[in-house]
Amino acid sequence: MTGTERRWINPQEGLVKIFERNLDIIVSRFLYPHLSQVWNPYSRLLERRFVLTEASVSPGGWPRELDPLRVLLISDIHTGIFLKPQTLADIILSLMALEPDLVAIAGDIVTGHSSEVGPFLGALAPLARAPLGAWYGHGNHDYFGGDPEEIRSGLRSVGIATLNNATVALAHGRGQFVLGAIDDLIFGKPDWPRLLSREGAPHLLLAHNPDHFYEAEARGVPLTLSGHTHGGQIRFPGGPPIIRHSRFCLDEGVYAFNSSLLVVSRGLGSVGLPWRWGADPEAILLEIVPRA
């Protein structure tokens, strides 16, 4: 990235975005339950089109003494009416067979209400088997209804820890690294001073919204993991997403700016409609290797 890429409409601000956010909340809470009784093909689509993306990266500023680190990035699960627990359980078990060192869950674990995570906790539980644990950072949908503490306590009950404007130091092989998570850019309360106060800049940052990336780079974060965009969820072959949720055109994939890297996952779930086209659901297995 050059750092100058911008959409001419900022998707984070303005009357259009305020209308969209409130419509999203209303639809998620009150329309989806009725829509699902008429048309709910998403679990079947997920079974057919889910893909695993693999990538190897070497961020600048990554600890040189650290052994290669395998991180499973999952985002935008959107538990709720479009997704069946058994479908998610089957995908989770197949992903954990890859033996990642750490699992990073980058927000939006529910669709419209915090209570939606409850029936899916059993399916999510195997993620905690990763040697360095499974870690969660909040997304915008996690604030749509109910109490986010319900999500945190539910995940805690199956061994998945939540970081919110906080960091933790993790030992791996011959060295250690710092993992952190910043609160959601739209509905949360991002607090960079608090995030940086304990261990300094994290080496690996969970930030649901990729538009945190330039702030993270300015604070010396080598690698940021995000979701939020769904890759557009619906896009024509070879074309851009119909709906873009990043002000900086950070739609999916791996991005570099100066010495920092960003990885944006299309995520597992669906919102708005129980359908994806041209932006298949994915998880990412990331191998992080120190620079030579």
pLDDT, residue 16, reads 64
Q: Is residue 108 a contact partner of residue 269, using CB atoms and an 8 Å limit?
A: yes
Residue pointed to by tokens 């992903």: 95
pLDDT, residue 8, reads 78
Q: Is 253 a domain residue?
A: yes
Q: What is the pLDDT of residues 137-180, one digit of tens each?
A: 999 999 988 999 999 999 999 999 999 999 999 999 999 999 99
Q: Is 5 a domain residue?
A: no
State the pTM of this model: 0.93
**Separation between Cα atoms, residue 203 and residue 192, nearest integer Å:** 14
Element (H, E) at 147: none
**Separation between Cα atoms, residue 87 and residue 43, nearest integer Å:** 6
Element (H, E) at 32: helix 32-38
**Separation between Cα atoms, residue 142 and residue 28, nearest integer Å:** 12
Q: Is 214 a domain residue?
A: yes
Q: Is 197 helix (H, G, I), strand (E, B) or coil?
A: helix
Alpha helices in 117-236 (DSSP H): 121-124, 148-157, 192-197, 213-218
Q: How confident is the model at residue 23 (pLDDT cuts 50, 70, 90)?
A: confident
Q: Is 4 a domain residue?
A: no
Q: Is 10 a domain residue?
A: no
**Separation between Cα atoms, residue 268 and residue 84, nearest integer Å:** 12
- Reply yes or no on whether the pLDDT at 17 is more than 90: no
Q: Is 85 helix (H, G, I), strand (E, B) or coil?
A: helix
Q: Which domain holds residue 147?
A: 15-288
> How many structural domains compose the chain?
1
Q: Is 1 a domain residue?
A: no
> CATH number for the domain including 86?
3.60.21.10
Mean pLDDT for 61-69 is 96
Cα 276 from chain centre = 17
Residue pointed to by tokens 């749509």: 144
Q: Is 166 a domain residue?
A: yes
Mean pLDDT for 21-45 is 75
Q: What is the pLDDT of residues 235-245, one digit of tens each?
A: 888 788 888 88
Q: Is 71 a domain residue?
A: yes
